[in-house]
Amino acid sequence: MITLLIVDDHPVVRDGLRGMFGADPRFEVLGEAADGAAAVTAAQRLRPDVVLMDLRMPGTDGVTAIRELARLGLPARVLVLTTYDTDGDVVPAIEAGATGYLLKDTPRDELFRAVEAAAEGRPVLSPAITALLIGQVRRPAPTLLSARELEVLELIAKGTTNREAARQLFISEATVKTHLLHLYAKLNATDRASAVAAGFSHGYLTP
């Protein structure tokens, strides 16, 4: 029997997953959590085989929780189950240590097979995520970043605001915004999160 911890901020989703897995004798749901911090606490206490982890939740997000579970050395495998399928969501989750990444429209039987695979440590990706990652690998390498653009990228990866970055780099806030626009264009990014994900993916940033 595979034991599970369900992590999602929507009670209806948690109830649906609990009912689905609870009705199958191959699985046992040990508990639930509504955010990443509660998930880490519950995983330490319950020691599930697999954690079904949503990503975007109030308070502590899923990626932060995945990193913390890995840091603590807990044996649970994390299987992301979310509605988000962008580079900025997928890459950080996998880099943080997720064993698999599925979308919430995954059919029940496929979800069951994915949980079984994750419990065995086998990577699991939904077809849409596989296509996204293949496309990312095939994407031409971004134009080389300038030294200043790299400095800005490193600062936003640390969560620095435009104003703080301007103060640290001794440039205007408008200049920081210009560098950000150049970064987005060169990294094929649409926002800060996807720029940081692309920075890690292309080796401009290291964990």
Mean pLDDT of the chain, nearest integer: 90
Tokens matching residue 119: 């419990």
Q: What pLDDT is attached to residue 66? A: 95
Q: What pLDDT is attached to residue 139? A: 59
Query: For 68-91, what is the mean pLDDT?
Result: 88
Rounded distance, CA 48 to CA 112, Å? Answer: 16
Rounded distance, CA 207 to CA 40, Å? Answer: 21
Query: For 56-81, what is the mean pLDDT?
Result: 93
Q: Which residues contact 167 (CB under 8 A, 6 or more apart)?
A: none
Per-residue pLDDT for 30 more than 70? yes
Query: For 152-171, what is the mean pLDDT?
Result: 93
Instruction: Enter the DSSP assignment of 123.
Output: -
Per-residue pLDDT for 178 more than 60? yes
DSSP bridge partners of 32: 6
- pLDDT band of residue 130 (cuts 50, 70, 90) is confident
Helical axes 127-138 vs 87-96, angle rounded to 10°: 100
- pLDDT band of residue 107 (cuts 50, 70, 90) is very high
Determine which of 59-73, 129-143, 158-172 has the lowest per-residue pLDDT on average: 129-143
- pLDDT band of residue 127 (cuts 50, 70, 90) is confident
Q: What pLDDT is attached to residue 119? A: 95
